[in-house]
Amino acid sequence: MSSRLKNIFNKVTAAVVAVAFLFALNPGIAFAATFGQTSDNGNTQTFSAARMYLSSAAPASSGTVTSATCRNWVSATGSYSSKVVVYTNLAGTPVTSLAESDAVTVSATAEQANVYAFSGANQIAIVSGTTYWFGIFAADPGTPSFVISRANTAAQVHFMSTAYPTVPATFTSGGTAAGPHDCFITYTEAGGGGATTTAQLRIGSGLLQWGSGMLYSR
């Protein structure tokens, strides 16, 4: 093995050992995971009055909801306020409201990924393998329409026309639409103590830092 390759190998090995060591010292490190439609599909859902559209998905692990990301925009010059809402599932339909995100005003006339933060009591606990319904709740945009990127499988979305911004405690489906919509939930996985630490790795200098832990390899 050349000296250069041996140097790289030693640094990577040191980094792996350091990470394992620091994990042992920091069992409360929390990790982010997602569930829902993370891909960008080529179909769209449009509407020009207040309405919510919900798709369903189940997380692969338990944790706490922190944000949602949805691909939505406005069809022409204008804007609308919107939230992401989360409902329970019963027999394949949304039922009871669980959480709503902070409002985001959307004014882009081309597709963009908008991030919706959940705060306070709306950072709900979710359970591994449990189905949840979630998606955009949009205000009436006026003359233009709001647009949501989606897949094209029939009856994957439930919609409800209701006055914005009050989120109904119980969902009353107005029908189904093709989907699912391009929207996913980000959550912090359960199992840690809730501490968040920042990792720093510079292979060039052989420095790896995680919180107060540090290791050099040259």
Residue 6 is predicted with a pLDDT of: 60
DSSP-assigned beta bridge partners for residue 175: 159
State the Cα–Cα distance between residues 44 and 168, nearest whole angstrom. Answer: 25
Q: Alpha helix (H) ranges present in 163-218?
A: none
- Phi and psi angles of residue 97, each rounded to the nearest 5 degrees, phi first: -65, 135
As separate numbers, helices (DSSP H) first and strands (DSSP E) second, the chain gives 1, 16
State the Cα–Cα distance between residues 113 and 145, nearest whole angstrom. Answer: 17
Tell me which residue of 140, 98, 141, 136 sits closest to 115, measured CA to CA: 136
Written as tens digits, the pLDDT of the chain (218 aa) is: 666 656 666 665 655 445 454 444 455 567 999 999 999 999 999 999 999 999 999 999 999 999 999 999 999 999 999 999 999 999 999 999 999 999 999 999 999 999 999 999 999 999 999 999 999 999 999 999 999 999 999 999 999 999 999 999 999 999 999 999 999 999 999 975 444 444 444 444 444 444 434 333 33
Could you give the count of Cα atoms lying within 13 Å of 185 in the half-sphere of its Cβ?
Answer: 36
State the Cα–Cα distance between residues 4 and 188, nearest whole angstrom. Answer: 39
Residue 207 is predicted with a pLDDT of: 44
Tell me which residue of 190, 187, 189, 218 sits closest to 202, measured CA to CA: 218
Residue 27 is predicted with a pLDDT of: 55
Residue 191 is predicted with a pLDDT of: 76
State the Cα–Cα distance between residues 178 and 47, nearest whole angstrom. Answer: 14
Domains annotated on the chain, with CATH: 3-26+199-216 (no CATH), 32-189 (2.60.120)
